Structure 1
Amino acid sequence: MTQHQTLPDDTETAYHYRVVRRAIDLIDEAQDPLSLDHIAAEMGMSTAHFQRVFSRWVGVSPKRYQQYLTLGHAKTLLRDRFTTLEASHALGLSGSGRLHDLFVRWEAMSPGEFARGGKGLKIFWGWFESPFGPAVVMGTDKGICGIGFAAEMGEEATLQDLLSRWPDAEFVEDPMMLRPWVLQAFGAGDGSLDKAPLFLIGAPFQIKVWEALLSIPSGQVTTYSEIAQAIGAPRAVRAVGTAVGRNPISWLIPCHRALRKSGGLGGYHWGLPMKRAMLAYEAVRAES
C-alpha cells in the first residue's frame, strides 16, 4: 500500500474525523437525537474520552455538534450565512484576489491545453492524511490541480477518479514535491508560503463556476442558482451543478458550500457525509 504523508499533528486529527464520520452515520439512522453515552458506546470509547475527542476536533460539545449535522442545518446556513456572489464579485473578491481565507492563489490552463486532455502536462501526486481522512493530492509545477478524499469511496477508486480526469498527462508519484502546498492547504504551513497555489484544469464554463465557488467565504454557503446568476447564466442551473460536481480541487475550491435553493444539501462527489463534516467543521469555527 502507498504510504501516506502525515501533516504535523494530523494523524490524530484524521482519527478524529473518522470518529465524526461514524457518528454521522449513527445520527443519519436515528429518528431522534442520540445521547452522549449511546454514541460513545457505539464508538467503543468511554463517555469522557469521546467527549474530549469530539470537543477538541470541533470546538463544541457532541450535543451541539449533532445540531450542525441534522438535515435542517443546510436550511439554517442558507438563512443565516447566505453569500450573495454578485456582491462578492463587485467587491473584487474573485479572480486572483485574496480568496478563500487569504491562503490560495490560482491560475487556469488555456482552453487549448484542456482540449488536449492534459497532454504534455506532468502531474505529481501523493497520499496525505488530512482533517477529513486520507486525501490524494495532485499538482503541476504551477500548483495543486486535484484533491480527492477516500474516506467514503476507498483509496483505489479515489485515485483512479482523479487519474481519469487528465488521461494523456504524465503522472509521477512524488508527495514530497507537493508537501509544502498541502501543508498550506490544510492550515499546517509554517508561513514560508504566502498562499497555496492552485492550477485549474477545466473547460472555460467549469472554470467560471469554480471561480464563483472561490468567492464563498469559509463558514458561509450559497446556492446553485446563485452561482448561475453570478456567472451570467441564470438558466444554466443544471450545468452549474454538473460543473460543481466535477470540481477536481475539493476543499480548496469549496464546492461543499453550494446547496440547493430548497435547503437540501444536494450531492457531493466524495460522499454526503464528507460534505456535512466539512460544513460542520467550518461552521463551528466561524462561531468560535
Structure 2
Amino acid sequence: MNAASRWRAVLARDRRFDGAFVYAVRSTGIYCRPSCASRKPRRGQVAFFPVPEAAERAGFRACRRCHPGAASPADPRIALVRSVCRLIDARPDVPASLATLSASAATTPHRLLRAFRAVLGVTPRQYRDERRLARFKTQLKERKKVSPALYEAGYGSTSRVYERADAQLGMTPATYGRGGAGTRIAFAVVPCALGRLLVAATVRGICRVGIGDDAPALEQGLHAEFPAATIARDDDTLRSWVAEITAHLDGRQPHLDLPVDVRATAFQRRVWEALRKIPYGSTRSYSEIARAMGNAKATRAVARACATNPVAIVVPCHRVVRADGDLGGYRWGIERKKELLAREAGEATS
C-alpha cells in the first residue's frame, strides 16, 4: 500500500484500514488511525507508519480521541511485531534476545526477525536500542543530569552510554543534555531528485545531511536534535556543497569528496571511511565491510554504524546491503535507498 492509497483512506476515514497503518501529524506531534474523526491536516504535515510503535519511535504520541493502538491489525505479522514491541517497551533494561522474544511470542526466531524487518525495517534489537536511546534523550532534556537519565532509560551503567555517545548522540551526553549549547550550525534546504535535501554544517564541515518529503519537517528535526545550538539558514555559505550533492544525486558528479564534521568513535569512523571507498554504482554487504576491516565478527556493529550515519549521501551508507541481496534498512526510507541504487547503477553502466 503506497502513500497515495493511505492518504485516500485517511481522507475517506475508511475504517477498513484501521490497524493497517497509522498517520502522524508533524505540527501536533500526534498520530491517529485512518478513520479518526479529527480535523484533517494538510498532506505536507502527514507521515505514515505501519504500526503505532513505529510512530512512537519517531516521537509522536497517540491520539486520545481515536486510540490508534487499540485497532486490531489484519496482517498477522503486524500483530506479532506489536506484541513483541510491547514486551520490549515494558522492560527496557532486559536484553532483547531474539530467542527469548520469539519464545514469548510463540514463534520462531527466523519468523520474528522476518516480521520485524518487513513491518518496521529493523531487528528487535535495533528497535530496543532506538527506543532506549529515545527515552534517554527525553530524560536528559527533562532532568539535565546524565546518571538519573540513563538509569531511567534502561542503561545498566554510565560506561555503556558514554562508549556509544559519539555514535548515537553526536556529542557527549552532558553536552547533548545542554541541547548542543555553543555549537553554530548553518543549513540549507533545497529540492532534489529524492524530495527535499537538508545540508547542515559547522565551520569545519558538513555535520548533517537529511532527505525527506518537506522542508519544515527536516528543519524541525535539526532544531529538535540541537535545541540550544545556534542554527541559522544560510544558503550562500552552503551553496557550493549543496550544488555538489545535488549534482551527485542527478548523476552528474559520481564522486563526492566533501569535508565532514561528525563526532564518532574510532570504529565508527573506520566504517564510514570504508563506505566512502565503495565505488559509485556498486554495493557491499555488511559482512564484506566487516571482513575488509579485519573483523569478520563485527557485521552487526557495522550495521549499527551505517544506521547512525548523520551525513547521508556524503557517506554512502545506502550502498551497503545484506549478504542475501536484501536492501536492509535506510534511515530516509527504503524506497529512497532503492531509487538511489537504481540511479547509480544506471549511470555507472551508461
TM-score (norm 2): 0.45
Shift of 1:242: 1.4
Instruction: Decide whether aligned partners of structure 1 residues 167 and 206 sit closer, same or farther in structure 2, where only a CA change above 3 A counts.
Output: farther
Match of 2:237 in 1: 177
Q: How many residue pairs were aligned? A: 176
Instruction: Decide whether aligned partners of structure 1 residues 202 and 170 sit closer, same or farther in structure 2, where only a CA change above 3 A counts.
Output: farther
Structure 1 residues 181-196: aligned runs within 5 Å: 181-187=241-247, 195-196=257-258
Shift of 1:125: 1.1
Q: Separation in 2 of the partners of 1:232 and 1:164?
A: 37
Q: Separation in 2 of the partners of 1:212 and 1:169?
A: 30
Secondary structure in 1 aligned to 2:295?
Answer: coil
Q: Separation in 2 of the partners of 1:199 and 1:234?
A: 28
Aligned with 2:184 (options 95, 98, 122)? 122
Partner amino acid for 2:297? Answer: R
Higher relative contact order (CA 8 A, sep 6+): 1
Tell me, yes or no, if the aligned pair for 1:225 and 1:261 is still in contact at 8 Å.
yes
Q: Separation in 2 of the partners of 1:238 and 1:166?
A: 28
Match of 1:81 in 2: none
Q: CA deviation digits over 1:247-288, x for unaligned, max 9?
A: 111111111100000110000000011001100110000111
Structure 1 residues 47-126: aligned runs within 5 Å: 114-115=171-172, 116-117=175-176, 118-126=180-188
Tell me, yes or no, if the aligned pair for 2:189 and 2:215 is still in contact at 8 Å.
no
Structure 1 residues 19-30: aligned runs within 5 Å: none
Instruction: Decide whether aligned partners of structure 1 residues 221 and 165 sit closer, same or farther in structure 2, where only a CA change above 3 A counts.
Output: farther
Q: Separation in 1 of the partners of 2:206 and 2:259?
A: 6
Instruction: Decide whether aligned partners of structure 1 residues 206 and 166 sit closer, same or farther in structure 2, where only a CA change above 3 A counts.
Output: farther
Q: CA deviation digits over 1:113-156, x for unaligned, max 9?
A: 832445432111121112222111101112211111113xx544
Task: Please state if 1:257 is matched with 2:335.
Answer: no
Secondary structure in 2 aligned to 1:249?
Answer: coil
Q: Separation in 1 of the partners of 2:228 and 2:308?
A: 18
Match of 2:301 in 1: 239
Instruction: Decide whether aligned partners of structure 1 residues 280 and 164 sit closer, same or farther in structure 2, where only a CA change above 3 A counts.
Output: same
Q: Separation in 2 of the partners of 1:160 and 1:237?
A: 33
Shift of 1:179: 1.1
Aligned with 2:203 (options 132, 135, 141)? 141
Partner amino acid for 1:234? Answer: A
Q: Separation in 2 of the partners of 1:255 and 1:135?
A: 16
Aligned with 1:223 (options 281, 285, 288)? 285
Q: Separation in 2 of the partners of 1:167 and 1:231?
A: 36
Q: Separation in 1 of the partners of 2:225 and 2:271?
A: 17
Q: Separation in 2 of the partners of 1:205 and 1:223?
A: 17
Shift of 1:187: 2.3
Secondary structure in 2 aligned to 1:180?
Answer: helix
Shift of 1:214: 0.5
Match of 1:92 in 2: none
5+ long unaligned stretches in structure 2: 5-165
Partner amino acid for 2:171? Answer: F
5+ long unaligned stretches in structure 1: 1-20, 23-109
Match of 1:84 in 2: none
Larger Rg: 2
Secondary structure in 2 aligned to 1:212?
Answer: helix
Instruction: Decide whether aligned partners of structure 1 residues 156 and 235 sit closer, same or farther in structure 2, where only a CA change above 3 A counts.
Output: farther
Q: Separation in 2 of the partners of 1:162 and 1:121?
A: 13
Instruction: Decide whether aligned partners of structure 1 residues 247 and 207 sit closer, same or farther in structure 2, where only a CA change above 3 A counts.
Output: same
Instruction: Decide whether aligned partners of structure 1 residues 215 and 286 sit closer, same or farther in structure 2, where only a CA change above 3 A counts.
Output: same
Identity, % of aligned positions: 37
